[in-house]
Amino acid sequence: MTAHRSLGLVALVVREYDEALDFFVGKLGFSVVEDTYIPEQDKRWVVIRPAAAGASAGAHLLLARASTPEQAARIGDQTGGRVFLFLFTDNLARDHQHFTQQGVVFVREPQVQPHGTVAVFEDLYGNAWDLIEPNAANCSWGG
């Protein structure tokens, strides 16, 4: 029996929904897939994705507002300082320039690697992201 599975959502712990939306939608150009208030839990179900991605293209982000002190302590450090998320692009130079103009902080400028051209930026909380333009010849898992 063959099963079809895919990674659908990745939860990103945030301080507040609207500040996270300002960054991801306003600066990175993501699109809001869903933003629904759940009154019985006093939270929102906020799902975003890179704007050019189709509804089924890759995982989406669930912006999860921290609701306990333990969760709040993890904001910006969900991986102990390692790169947390990988954003694929078809034109790194274009996106690097646009993100820089939007005030996004790059902690490593673009470098050519065997799997593609890579730059590392931080989101508004300090989580590290790889911005990658995959090299199709050497990257079987990218974009």
Which domains are present in the chain? 1-75 (3.10.180.10), 78-143 (3.10.180.10)
What's the token pair of residue 53? 């991605």
Amino acid present at 102: Q
What's this model's pTM, rounded to 2 decimal places? 0.89
Instruction: Give pLDDT tens digits for 66-121.
Output: 999 999 999 999 999 899 999 999 999 999 999 999 999 999 999 999 989 999 99
Instruction: Give pLDDT tens digits for 75-89.
Output: 999 999 899 999 999
Are β-strands 128-134 and 83-88 bridged in parallel, bridged antiparallel, or unpaired? Answer: parallel
Q: What is the mean pLDDT of the chain?
A: 91
Counting residues of the chain whose pLDDT is more than 70, the rounded percentage is 92
Residue 116 pairs in a beta bridge with: 113, 134
**Cα(104)–Cα(128) distance, integer angstroms:** 11
What's the token pair of residue 77? 């450090």
What's the token pair of residue 49? 């994705």
Contact 110, 96 (CB under 8 A): yes
